[in-house]
Structure 1
Amino acid sequence: MRQKHVYLHQPSDCLTRNGYNEDKCSKLVDALYECCQAFYERNGNDAVTASCPKAELLRLKMEQRRKGIR
């Protein structure tokens, strides 16, 4: 679990280094969102974690990213 915890900080570090330009970190953000989706699938939509947006917002963000909306 510790290794995954370190991994979860990579998108935030990338965003900080790149002036919060999400396009430069899109692969890391996508990977984080996929990890968050798996978290909610395992723990339910009411589960809470500081690393992920709430389940409903996560689904919206993932759908927007699939459509190319950033």
Structure 2
Amino acid sequence: MGKCVDPCKAQACAIQDCLKKHGFDESKCTAHIDRLYACCKQFYESEGRDARSPCCPTPKLLKFKMEQRAEELLDARLVR
């Protein structure tokens, strides 16, 4: 097989599985979301900001989402 085009696919699929398991309650899946964002951050750091994965937000949106989660704590745990 060739190089994996979707390096964060496992993390994205884990989010979907978690959501299905918990009746689409995002508050139960925040750790999976954090793992996806960490994977995407590493992907862009290694492949460059012009790289793309269908499983990752664009670098600009990813940065915003990570900052939002860290600074404002706006995530599914607080939005119920």
Quick check: TM above 0.5?
yes
1:60 aligns with 2:64: yes
Q: Structure with the greater relative contact order (CA < 8 A, sep ≥ 6): 1 or 2? A: 2
- Code of the residue aligned with 1:69 in structure 2: it is L
Alpha-carbon distance change, 48 to 24 in structure 1, aligned in 2, over 3 angstroms: same
Q: CA deviation at 1:13?
A: 1.7
- Return 5+ residue gaps in structure 1 as ranges: none
TM-score, reference length from structure 1: 0.80
Larger Rg: 2
Of 12-21 and 25-34, more deviation after overlay is shown by 12-21
Identity over aligned residues, as a percent? 40
- Structure 2 unaligned regions, length at least 5: 76-80
Aligned residue identity for 2:28: K
RMSD, aligned α-carbons: 1.8
Q: What is the total number of aligned residue pairs between the two structures?
A: 68
Q: In terms of mean alpha carbon deviation, does 56-65 or 18-27 score higher?
A: 18-27
Q: Which has the higher helix share?
A: 1
